[in-house]
Structure formats: structure tokens, C-alpha cells
Chain A
Amino acid sequence: MKTLAELAAIRERMQNNVIVREGTASTRVVVGMATCGIAAGARPVLSAFVEGVEKAGLLDKVTVTQTGCIGICQYEPVVEVYEEGKEKVTYVKVDAAKAAEIVEKHLKGGSVVTEYTIGAIK
């Protein structure tokens, strides 16, 4: 059974890491979570990024955040990737499986998954 004591243990374990981690993330993954995004399936996409980034050991490098409607509702779920010194990449019609692939190939491997980007669709 999960207890608050267990949470305290996680705190002890994390305290050092968090201090090191602060301000080091250079990549930001932004998932559109307005009505349009949620209706199109953004919730499992967000969960897939959060879990994928942790599993891939990228917590120091990547933060996953949420935003409102980006204005291209017909392409939701939309995910934007901002990397320091690079042009923004916009992925469209993302699902959990594509999210896992983006974590692996783009965030970890460094190469954009072009077939899922907005440029490939338009």
C-alpha cells in the first residue's frame, strides 16, 4: 500500500537530484491541452511523454508542459518541441505510440520524426 512515509523516502532520494537538475533542461515539449486537444486524445499523449522522458533518462534535459489551444484544432493532438538554438518542431495528430517514437528518435536520438510533423501533412 502506498503511504505518505513512502513519499518522504522519495523526497530524500530526490532532494539532491533536483538541485542538480534545476535550470539544466534545454528542451521543452509542449502538449496542447485545450478542449480541442483533449477531445482529440491529448491526455494519453501527455502521459506518454511524461513517462517516456523519465524512462529514457532524459529528465535533466527535457521538460514536458501543457498549453492551451494553439489555433490548429484540426491537427490536434498537437505537440511542439522547443530545443535551444534550433527551430521549433510541430508534431500533429500525435497518439501515444507516436509520442513514444518521438521520445526515442527525436528527444533521445536527436533526429526529427519528419513524417509526423505539420510540414508532412500540409
Chain B
Amino acid sequence: MTHVVHRPHPHDSGPLHVTGTAPYVDDLPTPANALHACFGLAPVGHATIDTLDLSAVWAAPGVVDVVTAADIPGENNAGPVIHDEPLLADGTILFPGQALFCVFAETRLAARKAARLFTLESTELPALTTVDEAVEAHSFLHGPLVFERGDVSKAIEDADYSSSSRLYIGGQEHFYLEGQGSLALPSADGLHIISSTQHPSEIQDLVAEALNISAAEVTVEVRRMGGAFGGKETQAAPLSIIAALGANRTGRAVRFRLDRDDDFVLTGKRHDFRADIRVGFDASGLIKGVDGILASRCGYGHDLSRAINDRAMFHADNAYFYPALELTSLRAKTHTVSNTAFRGFGGPQGMMLAERLVDKVAAAVHRDPLDVRLANLYNETDRSVTPYGMTIEDNVLPQLMPQLAETSDYRARRAAIIDANASAGRSPVRRGIALTPVRFGISFTTSFLNQAGALINIYKDGSILLNHGGTEMGQGLFVKVAQVAAEVLGVGLDDVKISSTRTDKVPNTSATAASSGSDLNGWAAKLAALELRNRLTAFWCAEQGIDGGLTFAQGRVSTEDGQSWPFAEVVRAAYMGRVSLSATGYYRTPKIDWDAKTGQGRPFLYFAYGAAVSEVEIDTLTGANRVIRADILHDVGRSLNPDIDHGQIEGGFVQGMGWLTMEELVYSARGDVLTHAPSTYKIPCASDRPDVLNIDLFDNANAEDTIFKSKAVGEPPLMLAISVHSALAHAVSSFSPRGRWPDLDAPATAEEILRTIATERTQAL
């Protein structure tokens, strides 16, 4: 029996959040002479810089220093993997809004004003901005990834039916409520950087490389972020590097916080995709072959685009077995901001292909899409091997989906909706419903990243300080890892003190990303706690002459025969007995093995599963739409903390809904992001939440040896929102000829819905 894990505990910072006393980077007190930084942004797109006159910037009130690419002592780079993303433009402007220089001034307003006073002469170069343009021009970051199995052309030709379609899937701005921010504090021992980042170790490396100093001279710290969602995995780095540079040059602390509009312009977003789909299937809707091309807009540089597009490929089958297939991934290089990680990391876009494909098939064979989905699921016998050669061993969808269909009354509601739509007459309202599954692979697909460290110190009074490499962005990682440490050491959750993530405490960490935070750091903390427990056990057994083991629970250390001592008493005795009370834990994920060259292997330790039923309503006069009801059944294994997991599921679902409905990024012809503030880029607000939202956890233990048999939960629920998009298409399909499924793109804005209705009305089969 467990005492602390598998139980609901509120977020550790809840009371601090609600009282406004939880400090974020920009809330920290800083030295009175701290400087403020601001980038000067390119007012043009792809172009060569002829002259950049900064004399007015230098002369502006309050300006202390101005830096350009030439002033960077080390490498002019903010690119995490491939070093192709200059911190400051050097000779060429690669996208509209690129940072040209940075001002350091006495106040933030002075810096912002000065940063607009430059004069740029430039020569415009041809710009590719969309996926269509880049693919047409064969502009790619690197070669394609292809998954193949069997003879797909033959499989599709031999099939009873086939269908082809194209689907555009929009990008998404993270819109973390706390914009990017950093604070660099110089000292005689080196630089201390406090950043709102998911990846402190990477910032440490990039700062060291840019400044030509060693990593040991840079400490990066983060206590909490005001939201991240992948947007602070690599995108936090430029601010920290430039703040470090300013601090190094001036010897003064440097604060840097982006204005929201600059944040939209400067930082990467979710990749937008174009999916081309050709599928062959039989009269029952069983898929015979899939030929798919996924092309994405990566932007001007690599960032994490390789891994993101890899993951799109890993999920282009979602839950379905494709007997024959050819899946191709094209990574379009454009003259737009470099796109980046966003919750799901390419997976959602891949799954959109799969779900569109089954909806097409179901329409063509006149079956309930749920039946076609169930018929095409992976099984554990002859249909269990993914396109990349991994055998699925933990599939729960064959149980989970029917269970959800039952509890949500899916079939009766679908029948009622179809009837209501058929008899709607002049009423402008149509409804739609869909049940879609999620199968999301858990592990970094870049295998070496699957490692983590933790540090636990027990002090003489029995209090416990926990530190690990994971970062807290609101997802509840800190409370979950603290639960693990408390469980193992047999103390209360309140006895474990949570502390900020620091590269000088736990080094060489991976980003808190890929939903892996609690899997990796939870295990590392467990190993550190076990080490300490073992030391205490060995010492105390020797001291007390105990044979057999000790139990650590509820603040006491007990023998099997009922003797028991307070934890703190054993700790103090161990200190007096010269036992080390500090331990590190180190974990690396077992079993995984993925070869990007062959496109084969086991990239994931396990899969997280879930499904959602969404019912929507559309107004066919305006295209306005809303989700009336959603029912979710999601597999988090044996939940470490059911309340926290519930929050991740609900939040992820609504965020995914936003991506697929109202969140529309609009670009100019030369690639400027035109929707660069919440006035023009609309994320869901309270009234967009489904009127009814039922969320249940699927009763399941992780088949793999994960931390207390739990499963990762950060990303998978976002993709449950694909049910909303499918339901919207279902509503639109009430205007389609029989057998046809509408080509509704994403986001399904009101305009997109109205346009698709117009197309369907004129469409003959």
C-alpha cells in the first residue's frame, strides 16, 4: 500500500499562486543598477543587410550598450542541435522580425524605445513562406524520412476502393501567459542566470559557447515558469544568451523580458503541415494500404524540426495498422520564424492524417466511423508492428474505446444527430459527433536524452531537500516527484522541501519535455531516495542489532515485529554515526533503441492511450461553432496524482481544441506573423469550454517498469481534441453527397467551416 503516491495532492505552489506571491523571473528583486535589454527587430523579411546604422540607438536616452553579431566573443548561435540560428543577424536577414542587435539601457522603456531608432538599408531577396511554396521550390532543411512496408501502390490498386485527399493543418502559438524572460547576474565566480526555461542545461551550454567561457562558469536556475508547452524548450535561450553577454560586458545585472508582440514575432510555433493522403480499403472499411506525405513548415533553421517531424511520422498511423504503406516526411525550409516544440511535438499533426484517413474510408463505405476505427486498430497478433518496426505490446484501445462509446452513449447520440440534421429544414444549426483515439509514444525519440538526475539531502533535523533536473511549468512535476521521494523515505509530503532547478545541483539535464518529466525525474528521485533509505537501514539495523528489514512509512522507521522510531531520530543517529545523508539518483530509460538512418527500432518505452467523444454544433449562417459535450477516457497508468493528471487532461484537451478551431496564425506574403497579440490570435476562453466535459481515468497499470506504474500525461491529452475536429467535419458532412467526407482543414475557424459547407453544397460525387 502506498501512502503518498496514487493520491490527490494539490499543486505545491497553489497558495502562492492565488496570493500572487509565487515569484516568476520578472518578479525577482534585482540590483538597483540592473540594465534592461531589448532586441531591434528586422522590419523586412529575407534580405541582405547593406547598412545598419545604430547611431541614433546609441544616442538615445538611457542607453548603456548596444551589441551586434560582431560583438559576440564566441559563437553567434542560439540553435540547439544544428548551429544554424544566429543570435543576431549577420549579413542576411532570414525571416521578418529577426533580431538585428540588442540594446542595454537603464530602463525597460528606454531600451524598447531605443531599439526602434535604427536605420536599415537592405536588399530584399526572394522569400519562400508557405509549405506549398517551399515544396514546389524543393527547399528542404534536410532529406526526407520515409517509412515503407510492402508494395503500397499495388495494395491500393488491388483494394476495392481508394480515396485521395489533402489536408492543411495550421500551426499554433504557445501563448504561455508569462512571456519569455531572463535575468543575468554577474559575479566573480561566473554568471548566474535565472531563466523561464524548460532546458537550463542547454542555456548553460549556449551561453558558454557564445561567451567563450566554460560551462562551469555558468549556472542556470529556474524555479517556475508561467506556462511553456514546449515554447520554452529552445526558445528561451536567445534572451539568456544576450542577457549574459550584456552582463559580461557591463558588469551589471541584465533583465530581459519580451513584450508580448515581440514574443509572437521572434519565437517559433507549432509546425503547420500539409498532409497528402491516398488510401486503399475494402468494402468493410479495412485499410489495405496508405500512401501519405507529411510536409511541414520548419522555418529558416533546424531548431528541433528533425525530431518533431520524426514524431509526426511515428504517429501518422495513430492507432491503426497499415498493412502496406509508404509515409514520407518533408521538412520545408522557409523564410519564416523557425518553428519549434509544442505539446505533442509533431504527433498531433501526424494523428490528424490518420484520423482524416479513417473518416474518409468510413464515409466511403457508409459505416459509422467508430466501427471503421475499431476494425483497423492494432492488435496483439498479426497486426501489431508499427511502420518503424516496433511491436505494440500494451494496446488497451480495443477495451478503452468500446467502454467510452458505452459510457458516453455515443451510438444513440450519433443516430439522433443524424436524424436531427436530416430534418433540420431551414434551421441553420447542424450537429456532429466523433470518437477518436490517441496512442502516444513515450520517450524522447532522440534516445540519449532519456536520462535524468536527482539530488536528495537529508539534514540533521530529518528535513529533506529535493532537487532534480526537471522544471516546473505548471504541470505539477514538482509535487509528483516530491510524492515519490516522500513515499520512498516514508515521510509526509510536507516533509520534502522542493527547490529550484539549478545546473549546479543536478548537471547535464535533458529538457523537461516529451511528457517525460515525472517518468525520468521521478525515477531518479526514487533511486536517490532508495540509496538513502538503504544507508539508513544498514546503519540502523547494525546499531540496533535488527535482523531483517525496516519499513519507512508515515514518518516512522519500523521493524517487522513492531518496534518503531521517528524518522528524524534515525537520521540524527545516522549523522552521529558518520553516514552520508546526501545522495544522487541517476536514471536512464531501458529498452529503447531507435536508428534514424534505417527508420527502424523501438523509439518508445511504452504508449499512453486515450479516447474522446466530442459533440459539436455549427451555425451554418456564420460557421460559428461550439463543443456541446465531450467525454474523455484516458490512460495514465497508475496515476501518481489523479487530480494533477485530471488537470493535464482537461487543459490539454482545451488547448488542442483551440489549435483545431479558433487559433489561426496569419502570415503576410513575405512571412510576417500578422496575428501577433491576443487581440488578433484567439486562444480559447472560459465560454469556449465544452458545456459538459466528463473526464475519467482508464483503470490500467503501466506494463513497463515506470515510476510506480504510472504513465506520462503532459502531451497525450492534447490529441483527444482531434475528436472535435472530426465532429465538426461530421456536422459539415450533413451537406455532403452520400459517401463523401468533407475536406475541412485545420483550424476549423468559422470561416473555414462556412467555406467547406459551400464546397460540399456544390459537390457531386
> Do they bind each other?
no
* Contacts from A to B (Cβ < 8 Å): none
